[in-house]
Amino acid sequence: MVSEDDIVKFALGLEDVSEREVAPGEKHRIFCRGERIFCVISKGYEPVRLDLRCDSKLAKTLQERYESVMQSRVLGRGGIEVLCTGQLEASDVLDLVRHSYEMSAPEE
């Protein structure tokens, strides 16, 4: 199962990524590519709960296949919430983080 530390280390290893400052007591860790949010980790959950941007067709497929993947309440349309319960392999979760990062590329 993937840990919060694994996800944070992976996200911060991507180019032009920063962790956004949040107010004291905030229950999320927010990661941005430039100014665009691509990953939100909810603090204090075990298993890890994260919200990611996702292609709509992929999101639908994942939601049909895994009960631990649902529509994001944080990112709204165009986002998925992933509960890292072990239904998805750690490498698959990190691939989804990378996918969200790529979906958050600046407009050209």
Rounded-to-integer distance, Cα 85 and Cα 89, Å: 9
Position 73 scores a pLDDT of 83
**37-51 confidence digits (pLDDT tens):** 999 999 988 899 999
State pTM to two decimals: 0.92
Positions of the chain with pLDDT lower than 50, given as ranges: none
Which of 32, 36, 33, 45 minimizes the C-alpha distance to 81?
45
Position 108 scores a pLDDT of 65
Position 30 scores a pLDDT of 95
Which CATH architecture is the domain 4-103 placed in? Alpha-Beta Complex (3.90)
